[in-house]
Amino acid sequence: METTGQQFIAGKRRSGTSGEQYEVINPATGEVLATDTLAGPEDVHEAVAAARAAFAEWSRTTPAERSEAMLRWADQLHARSEELAQTESRNAGKPIRLTRGFDVPGTIDNVRFFAGAARNLEGRASAEYSADHTSTIRREPIGVIGSIAPWNYPLQMAAWKALPAMAAGNTVVLKPSELTPLTSVLFAETAREAGIPDGVLNIVTGSGPVAGQALITHPDVAMVSFTGSTAVGRQVAAQAAGSVKRVHLELGGKAPFLVFDDADLEAAARGAVAGALINSGQDCTAATRAYVQRPLYKTFVERVAALMDGVRLGPVDDPDTDMGSLISLRQRDRVAAMVEAAREGGATVVRGGRVPDGPLGRTAHYEPTLITDAAQDSAIVQQEVFGPVLVCLPFDTDDEAIHLANDTPYGLAASAWTTNVFRAGRASREIQAGCVWINDHIPIISEMPHGGYKASGFGKDMSAYSFDEYTNVKHVMTEITGTRHKSWHDVIFTSR
Ligand code: TXE
């Protein structure tokens, strides 16, 4: 069990000062991984002050200097990758195969990408857009960024929030979820080992209503970047409005998965199972609503059910385990209640829909679940479940498929499965989501943006597009003729 603190402020690891004790739990076993005191407003204040002090120097480093530091950071993370994978697996209840193959390498790749991207901040060409002036564009860091991250991919979310901000010359105070602070603290520790100055990346582990609030409303925080539920995202936006802070919100999703009658059925069934069960379904882009054209529907449901039967639940440190636990008993009960409500509303639970028997049933596990016959307007189809639950429904026409895909408040990700180029083109254009996959679902890359439409929020994580969130664009206009009475003065006054 760890005894060291879960705060990382001005380069030092320590405990919080709120007086509120808490335990970091392995949700797959119930084991206590660490005990600590949560951050209170004082800790947030100290972290913001450290970030503010560090901004003066970090914002003046050259892109090449930031890039070099971040490349060393990637090497440091790589050297500690097994420790990171084990810690992430235990803290979030993820199978070790997932953290070794996805969470950790994805994070390292993200660091390397932003090390490169730091040297390529773009703007319009300098030119004389007015004959007498040269216009240039400066992209400037904003200041101290307050980032609030969720528990589903603790390390990757810390990276997605911190990296573009830091690459652009900002400094960061990151609040991980109090459920999953361990790898965020390691992430900051490795940054220090790589020579990134103290105060550039700070971690405050506290609750949303206390530490989160203190961060959002802090006068020295210039921008708030949040990933979490739509309900909390609304509060974040409202509170940030008080001090006119820039806000970036990634608020989850309810991804549709359209299978047209010309699709490769086996590829689609495998894609649906992987896309629905990744990270036990606690993924904002997870496949949650499979709409299948009538001729394929019955076979698709049978094939998905058969594939789900082969998914192995088990200890997260066993490389043969396919699916781990949910993040907490609370989340498991929330998922179970949503499935129960669907069942009571007339839906058919084809597979799963229950807590597993035996020891796994005592912790936060839930069986892979396939649901059919749910009403389009029911909660299981409309709301984010954030568990290993796939709803499968039939459709007849292409118009209906597109309508159903867009028929929830969310718009983060979607996929269309077809061998017809025109159907693929129509789906890419007409589905209202920040990402549309064709013949796949989930792959994510550092070079491309991730972010929502509609109630999934706004702003982009990853890719060069994320610099639009974390920089101010300044226009500098220089008069180049030296004329005292400019020609445009004539519209104001004409005296010579
Ligand atoms: O999320 P919260 P919860 C969705 C998913 C899940 C549901 C609830 O549907 O079932 O949200 O999960 C911090 N001021 N997503 O309750 O509360 C909190 O400490 C400031 C989707 O855990 O949104 C944590 O750091 N901060 C999502 C972060 O917000 C506050 C990932 C997210 O927690 C706060 C996670 C407040 N008042 C859940 N209240 C995605 N987009 O991927 C909480 N927080």
The domain that holds 394 is classified in CATH as 3.40.309.10
| 186 in Cβ contact with 80 (< 8 Å) | yes
Ligand 1 pocket mutation, candidates 221, 229, 283, 327, criterion most atoms within 8 A of CB: 229
Protein residue closest via CA to atom 37 of ligand 1: 209
Is 208 a pocket residue for ligand 1 (Cβ < 6 Å)? yes
Closest CA to 410 of 436, 384, 388, 442: 384
Ligand 1: which atom is nearest the Cα of residue 331?
10
Q: Are residues 41 and 170 in the same domain?
A: yes
Q: Are residues 189 and 224 in the same domain?
A: yes
Q: Are residues 264 and 334 in the same domain?
A: yes
Enumerate the β-bridge partners of residue 14: 7
Is 195 a pocket residue for ligand 1 (Cβ < 6 Å)? no
Q: In this predicted structure, what is the pLDDT of residue 353?
A: 98
Q: How far apart are CA 400 and CA 373, in angstroms?
A: 17
Give the SS3 label for residue 167: helix
Other CB atoms within 10 A of residue 293 CB: 22
On whether residue 468 sits in a domain, the answer given is yes
Closest CA to 188 of 107, 117, 251: 107
Tell me, yes or no, if 250 is annotated catalytic: yes
Is 253 a pocket residue for ligand 1 (Cβ < 6 Å)? no
Is 232 a pocket residue for ligand 1 (Cβ < 6 Å)? yes
Enumerate the β-bridge partners of residue 180: none
Q: Are residues 228 and 295 in the same domain?
A: no
Q: Are residues 43 and 190 in the same domain?
A: yes
Q: How far is the CA of 83 from the centre of ligand 1 (A)?
A: 26
Which amino acid is residue 36, in one-letter code?
D
Q: Are residues 225 and 343 in the same domain?
A: no
Q: What is the CA radius of gyration of the chain?
A: 24
On whether residue 275 sits in a domain, the answer given is yes
* The dihedral formed by the CA atoms of 380, 453, 445 and 186, expressed in degrees to the nearest 10: -80
Protein residue closest via CA to atom 10 of ligand 1: 386
Residue 91 lies in domain: 7-251+456-476
3-state secondary structure 383-397: CCCCCCEEEEEEECC
The pTM of the full predicted model, rounded to 2 decimals, is: 0.97
On whether residue 495 sits in a domain, the answer given is no
Contacts of 430 by beta carbon, 8 Å cutoff, 6+ apart? 402, 406
Give the SS3 label for residue 17: coil
CATH code of the domain containing 64: 3.40.605.10
**The one catalytic residue among 284, 384, 435, 469:** 284
**The one catalytic residue among 250, 367, 384, 469:** 250
- Does an H or E element contain 223, and which? strand 223-227
Q: Using the 8-state DSSP alphabet, how is residue 122 labeled?
A: -
Q: Are residues 222 and 271 in the same domain?
A: no
On whether residue 447 sits in a domain, the answer given is no
Q: In this predicted structure, what is the pLDDT of residue 495?
A: 74
- Each residue's pLDDT, cut to its tens digit, for the chain (496 residues) gives 655 799 999 999 999 999 999 999 999 999 999 999 999 999 999 999 999 999 999 999 999 999 999 999 999 999 999 999 999 999 999 999 999 999 999 999 999 999 999 999 988 999 999 999 999 999 999 999 999 999 999 999 999 999 999 999 999 999 999 999 999 999 999 999 999 999 999 999 999 999 999 999 999 999 999 999 999 999 999 999 999 999 999 999 999 999 999 999 999 999 999 999 999 999 999 999 999 999 999 999 999 999 999 999 999 999 999 999 999 999 999 999 999 999 999 999 999 999 999 999 999 999 999 999 999 999 999 999 999 999 999 999 999 999 999 999 999 999 999 999 999 999 999 999 999 999 999 999 999 999 999 999 999 999 999 999 999 999 999 999 999 999 999 999 987 6
Q: How far is the CA of 233 from the centre of ligand 1 (A)?
A: 8
Closest CA to 72 of 112, 118, 104: 112
Which of 438, 468, 489 delimits the end of a domain? Answer: 438
On whether residue 486 sits in a domain, the answer given is no
Number of folded domains in the chain?
Answer: 2
Is 209 a pocket residue for ligand 1 (Cβ < 6 Å)? yes
Q: Are residues 222 and 103 in the same domain?
A: yes
Is 180 a pocket residue for ligand 1 (Cβ < 6 Å)? no
Is 250 a pocket residue for ligand 1 (Cβ < 6 Å)? yes
| 346 in Cβ contact with 381 (< 8 Å) | no
Q: Are residues 229 and 368 in the same domain?
A: no
- Residue ranges of alpha helices (H) inside 220-356 are 230-242, 265-277, 294-309, 329-344
Protein residue closest via CA to atom 7 of ligand 1: 229
Q: Are residues 348 and 217 in the same domain?
A: no
Q: Are residues 233 and 264 in the same domain?
A: no
Tell me, yes or no, if 392 is annotated catalytic: no
Is 235 a pocket residue for ligand 1 (Cβ < 6 Å)? yes
Is 26 a pocket residue for ligand 1 (Cβ < 6 Å)? no
Q: How far is the CA of 175 from the centre of ligand 1 (A)?
A: 12
On whether residue 487 sits in a domain, the answer given is no
Q: How far is the CA of 150 from the centre of ligand 1 (A)?
A: 6
Contacts of 225 by beta carbon, 8 Å cutoff, 6+ apart? 145, 146, 147, 148, 161, 165, 247, 248, 459, 469
Q: How far apart are CA 388 and CA 391, in angstroms?
A: 10
Two structure tokens written together for 176: 């991980």
Protein residue closest via CA to atom 41 of ligand 1: 252
On whether residue 206 sits in a domain, the answer given is yes
Q: How far apart are CA 54 and CA 143, in angstroms?
A: 10
Q: Which residue has the tokens 């105060």?
A: 199
For 302, 308, 441, the CA distances from 264, given in Å and listed in that order, are 15, 18, 14
Q: How far is the CA of 232 from the centre of ligand 1 (A)?
A: 6
Q: Are residues 241 and 262 in the same domain?
A: no
On whether residue 449 sits in a domain, the answer given is no
Is 81 a pocket residue for ligand 1 (Cβ < 6 Å)? no
